[in-house]
Structure 1
């Protein structure tokens, strides 16, 4: 996060508007949070006066650039998604292309709940419910996601072609498949979006362990989906494959139970839990589309930067390069699976 990204005066003005005189001259603390690759997110806390003793309030502020993300949160906050996400407390326009979103703070019940496969399955149940209800939900602002996806895919391919094959051992074997999948991506996506009976619906668009928390409500654990910046109309399989592929990298049990978890999602949608050939094809097309939307290109770029550092230029640390190489190899396996399904 850039230093000074949050204007304390703007944040204080929102708190005054929300809480009035109770805020008084209370100190407002803004503490940056670790977020996604592009997010500027902070925890905001303040003490309210009134009553027998001061009351602490806490919320999350997210700085966004461009009107689409602010519009997405506004529309989702009045649709079915509000039951699956933090509450939107307010939106503040800071300038022509800068907006501040104020969101409910979600307190996780566990730091890392995904060692328990029941929690993993519960997220898929939650997604199934959201996808089923969102098919009748609010329309979202326009986004030519297909064009952006293809541009990111072509950029990832360009990065891969420039990397020496020894940087990522799996790359040489995967290059023919990567070229074919990038060329076929528009047709793959058309087939994916036409796949029945799932069809299309509003999807979260970026489901991974960093964007899901388990909170306790009424004594019961409940998954909450964070960061809806990439919400759009798409295939439910894009969310499902994103979740299973990302979690499988960290949790071997999730990888071992992959097919069982996928079948569980289908059952939660009221469908036969049969992993048919068309279903598997759609799943791997969705996974490849997710990989090419940014994840593969990001990890390839880290490897490329780290290589520059070994040549005496500023770059990433060796451990960052090794992690990026492993991640890239994982996504290249997804690309090869999608290629095998397409051919």
Structure 2
């Protein structure tokens, strides 16, 4: 999903980080800090955050022993500041282990916050190449969806359904423009399917969010390979989902479809084990659930919703952008083609 707000990337200085990190460390260690030094570097990712930094803290404890700690600090402003509230109201209580641990929140204004979370010791950025790890992730995702069913989720000022409708209309217009581009005109062959799904989107969403037993409950909202890591914790390894800033109320099938479709696009192994992973998720979500015709139809409706929420529009714009390299435009073209395949599948199953 694309953010409509301009993002200002500005790395916070050590002096700006000093106060919130001192408060965090004093509570974390329950000691008076001495000789605190802060070293940080800007991280890529966390697209909705104003800045994301990996921070190394070094200090002396009450006995004069040297201590060190590594954390991730997110500087959140505007709507993305909701991620701090999401961590406090949802993630900390209902997604322990599945997300980086919440360490500290410092609110610097009505719509500004500094979020301090666990720095993941990543062992692999591509856990889905190992089917067992991919199965572990969908199992934990299902367990989160079940556990968080009645959880409160802080959602100030974000009408996702209205934003989805507007994004879908923009996507339809961008696809229509492809008819006049010889290199992209074949994409417009899916225009009828997109037209029908965009027109039916309100009713489609109502049906999806009432699909039993999934219903409408808190979801991560942005599950894809870039947000999935394998982390070393204790003596083992666990899958971890990062970037919870788009968590919202929705259908759990939106998370499942987002993961399986993006996985299948980037890794042939993911597409080969698509139904196996879907079945694994359903078994963890509820005893006796099967990937039957009804669930499949809802799954593809969820996939169409995901495609129209900004991903397809992003790919269409990049495919037409003359400032992009030819390789980048080609990648965007094939990604758009894949998203349109999902919409055509949903269109064939609608009603």
Calculate the TM-score normalised by the size of structure 2.
0.89
Residue 268 of structure 1 corresponds to 284
Mapped partners of 1:265, 1:2: distance in 2? 38
Q: Secondary structure at the match of 2:96?
A: helix
Question: Displacement of 1:172 after TM fit?
Answer: 2.2
Identify the range of structure 1 (189-198 vs 219-228) with the bigger mean alpha-carbon deviation: 219-228
Q: 1:264 to 1:77 in 2, by over 3 A?
A: closer
Instruction: Find 1:113's aligned residue among 104, 124, 127.
Output: 127
In the alignment, what sits opposite 1:63? 75
Alignment of structure 1 residues 78-97 onto 2, 5 Å: 78-97=92-111
Task: Give yes or no for contact 1:167–1:303 (8 Å, CA) kept in 2.
Answer: no
- Aligned-CA RMSD value: 2.1
Secondary structure at the aligned position of 1:141 is classed as coil
Q: Does structure 2 conserve the Cα–Cα contact (< 8 Å) formed by 1:79 and 1:138?
A: no
The within-5 A match list for 1:90-239 is: 90-142=104-156, 143-163=158-178, 164-168=180-184, 170-239=186-255
Give the distance between the partners of 1:135 and 1:158, measured in 2 at CA: 36
Query: Which stretches of structure 1, 4 residues or more, deviate above 4 A after TM superposition?
Result: 20-23
Deviation at 1:182, TM superposition (A): 1.1
Q: Secondary structure at the match of 1:41?
A: strand
TM-score normalised by the chain length of structure 1? 0.91
Question: Quick one: distance in 2 between partners of 1:271 and 1:330?
Answer: 32
* C-alpha separation in 1, matches of 2:64 and 2:36: 16
For 2:99 and 2:15, locate their aligned partners in 1 and report how far apart those are by CA, in whole Å.
Answer: 27
DSSP-derived class of the 1:294 partner: helix
Q: How many residues align?
A: 335
Once the two structures are superposed, what CA deviation does each residue of 1:308-331 show, in whole Å capped at 9, x if it has no partner? xxxxxxx22222111111111111
Per-residue CA deviation, residues 123-167 of structure 1 (Å, 9 max, x unaligned), is 110011111111132343353211111111111112222233433
- Of 40, 53, 71 in structure 2, the residue corresponding to residue 42 of structure 1 is 53
Q: Which structure 1 segments of 5+ residues have no match? A: 307-314
Shift of 1:79: 2.2
1:30 aligns with 2:43: no
Secondary structure of 1:16's match? helix
Q: Distance in 1 between matches of 2:96 and 2:268?
A: 32
Structure 1 position 173, deviation (Å): 1.6
Which whole-Å deviations, capped at 9, do the CAs of 1:235-287 have from their partners, x for residues lacking one?
Answer: 11001001101111111111011112111111112233432221111000100
Shift of 1:25: 4.2
Change (3 A) 1:111 1:204: closer
Which segments of 5 or more consecutive residues in structure 2 lack a partner in the other structure?
1-6
**CA distance in 1: counterparts of 2:222 and 2:140, whole angstroms:** 15
Q: Secondary structure at the match of 1:60?
A: strand
Corresponding residue SS for 2:124: coil
Superposed displacement of residue 11, structure 1: 1.1
Alpha-carbon distance between aligned partners in 1 of 2:107 and 2:153, rounded to the nearest angstrom: 22
Shift of 1:200: 2.1
Q: Distance in 2 between matches of 1:174 and 1:17?
A: 55
Contact 1:15/1:23, CA 8 A, preserved across alignment: no
2:106–2:113 CA contact under 8 A, matched in 1: yes
